[in-house]
A and B are shown apart, each in its own frame.
Chain A
Amino acid sequence: MDEITSDQLFRAYGSSLPEVFRTAAKAMFGVMYDLEEVNLDSEVSVRAQGIDEEHLLYDWLSNLLIEFEVEFVFFADFAVTSIEEKSDERFHLTGIAKGGREMPELRTHVKGVTLHRFSLERVNNRYTATVVVDI
Chain B
Amino acid sequence: MKEKLVQQDEFRWWLDKTARPRMNVSAKIIGSKKIINTLENAAIEQLTNVATLPGVIEPVLAMPDAHWGYGLPMGAVGAFDAEDGIISAGCTGFDINCGVRLIRTNLTYEDVKPKLRNLVDELFTRVPAGVGSKGKIRLSDNQFSDVIRLGARWAVENDHGVEADLAHCEEGGGMEGAATKAPQISEKARRRGRPQLGTLGAGNHYLEVQKVEKIFDESIAKVFGLEKGKVVVMLHCGSRGFGHQVATDYLKRMEVAVKKYNIWLPDRQLVCAPATSQEGQDYYAAMKAAVNFAFCNRQVMTHWIREGFEAVFNRDWESMNLNLVYDVTHNICKFETHEVNGSKRDLYVHRKGATRAFGPGHPKIPEDYRSVGQPVLIGGSMGTASYVLVGTDQAMKETFGSTCHGAGRAMSRKAAIRKYHGHDIKQALESKGEVIRSMSTKILAEEAPNAYKDVHIVVDSVHGADISRKVASQIPMGVVKG
Contact = CB atoms under 8 A, between A and B. Distances in A.
Contact of A5 (B192, B411, B441): B411
Interface in A60-118: 62-63, 65-66, 68-70, 72, 103, 105-109, 111-118
A134 B94 contact: yes
A105 B203 contact: no
Nearest to A32: B131
Contact of B70 (A59, A62, A105, A116): A116
B141 to A, nearest CB: 15
A32 to B, nearest CB: 7
Contacts of A55: 252
Interface stretch (B99-107, B145-153, B223-231, B240-248): B240-248
A108 B268 contact: no
B95 interface: yes
Contacts of B244: 65, 111-112, 134
Given A55-B252, A116-B267, A109 B201 contact: yes
Contacts of A135: 203, 413
Interface in B247-268: 247-248, 251-252, 255, 267-268
Contact of B69 (A5, A68, A103): A5
A24 interface: no
Nearest to B245: A66
A3 B192 contact: no
B191 A70 contact: yes
Contact of A106 (B130, B269, B415): B130
Contacts of A68: 132
B414 A106 contact: no
A105 B202 CA distance: 12
A70 B268 CA distance: 28
Contacts of A72: 132, 134
A8 B414 contact: yes
B269 A114 contact: yes
Nearest to A3: B412
Given A4-B69, A69-B132, A115-B251, 18 more contacts: A3-B414, A5-B410, A5-B411, A6-B68, A7-B69, A65-B241, A65-B244, A66-B192, A66-B241, A66-B245, A105-B440, A106-B439, A111-B203, A115-B70, A116-B70, A116-B267, A132-B70, A132-B269
